[in-house]
Homo-oligomer: A and B are copies of this chain.
C-alpha cells in the first residue's frame, strides 16, 4: 500500500474533491426512466426489467410459493446465523425508539411533540449477481420497530427471474409485507410515484448502483430518502497495540467491496505501517476477490503516517469515514475527539465485518465523507414528528401584545388580526 504523510494525503484529497451536483449524462437517462414509469406504470417496469435485467416477468410480486421454495433451499446454519443477527439488530435499535412528550403550565398552556411512524416504506436491496440478506435485516428492522404500517422491498431479479432465497428468507424473518422483482432507477420511480402494482411509499431507503443513487436524488422532495450513497470507506487508526495482520485483514475487507472502495490506515508508527503494508500484500494473494482488491488498493488504498495521535484524529475528522476502527490503547477514552464517523469500532476485536453483519448497530452508514452531516440509518428514519400547541384564553391574552408586535414588524397584518379578534371578542 501507498505510505504517505498526513500533509501529502491532505494535498491529494483536496485536489481530488469533487461535488456530485453535475452529472448531465446520467441525469438524462435517469429522468427518462422516471418519466416513463410515471406515464406508463407497470408497462414501463416490465419493459425496463427485460432491457436491464434480461428477463421477461409475468408478475412483479414474489409469490407465496417462491417464499416457501426459498425456505426449503437455505441451510439451517444460515438460518441460525440470520436469526442471531436479527436479535442483535433488534436489541440495539430498540434503544432508538422515541416517545411523544408534553409539557403543561398552570396557565393552561400545553406544548408537545407527537411521534408517528411513517405509513409506508420502500427498501431497495441490490441483487442480480449477488445477494445481500444483511441489507434486508438492517433496513427492515428499524422500520418495523418504528411501527411503519407497510414495508416493501424491491430488488432486481436474476436472469432466471428469481430472487435469491437468502434475501427472501431474510425478508420473511424481518416481517416485510411484499417483495418486488424490480431494480434500478425504475424501482425508485415506482416507489416514489406508484404504479398499478406498486404502492407509493413515504420513504425510500437502501443502497444501490449509480442509477439508483441518482434516481433517489431526483425523487427526493416528492418522497423522503435515507441518503445518496457513494463509494464507502474504512479508516483504521493504529498504534503499537494494534495487531498488524488484523488491521490488514480489515483494510482488505473494505477493499473487496468494489474498485471505488477506500481503505485508509493512519498510524504514528512507521514500523507498524510497513508491517501492515506487508501483511496486506501477503493476505491479498489468498483472497477470492483479489482482482477487485488490487484495483481498489491501487487507486484508493493509503497508509498515512501522522506525527501525533492528535494529528491522526484531525485527519479522521477531515475524512469523516463511514467505518472508523480505533486499534489503539484505551480507544473508548478517545471517543470525545471523534466528530465525524458513521460507526466507530474499538480495539483489536471489533473488526468492520462484525458491524456489517452481526453486532447490532446499523450497517447503512453515511459514505464518502457525509458523516459530517448525517447518521447511521435508525428507527428515527422511519418516524416523523408533529408539534402540539394549546393555549388558554388567558394565556393568549397575555401573549397578544408581543405576537401582534412581531407580526406587524414582518408586515403580516392578517396574522396580527387573528390575535386581535380573539382579544376583542367577548365570549366569556
Contact = CB atoms under 8 A, between A and B. Distances in A.
B221 A410 contact: no
Interface in A249-269: 249-250, 252-253, 255-257
Interface string A93-128: 001100001010000011101101011000000000
Interface of A: 19-22, 31, 34-35, 38, 77-78, 80-82, 84-85, 92, 95-96, 101, 103, 109-111, 113-114, 116, 118-119, 130-134, 166, 192-193, 202-203, 217-224, 227-228, 243, 245-246, 249-250, 252-253, 255-257, 283, 286-289, 293, 324, 331-332, 335, 338-362, 365-366, 370-376, 378, 380, 384-393, 395-396, 399, 401-403, 405-407, 409-419, 421-422, 425, 427
5 closest A-B pairs by beta carbon, nearest first, are: A361-B387, A224-B373, A81-B402, A346-B390, A256-B414
A154 B384 CA distance: 28
Nearest to A256: B414
A23 to B, nearest CB: 11
B391 A347 contact: yes
Contacts of A114: 335, 338, 344
Nearest to A252: B414
A119 B339 contact: yes
Contacts of A392: 349
B389 A359 contact: yes
Nearest to A353: B415
A323 B85 CA distance: 42
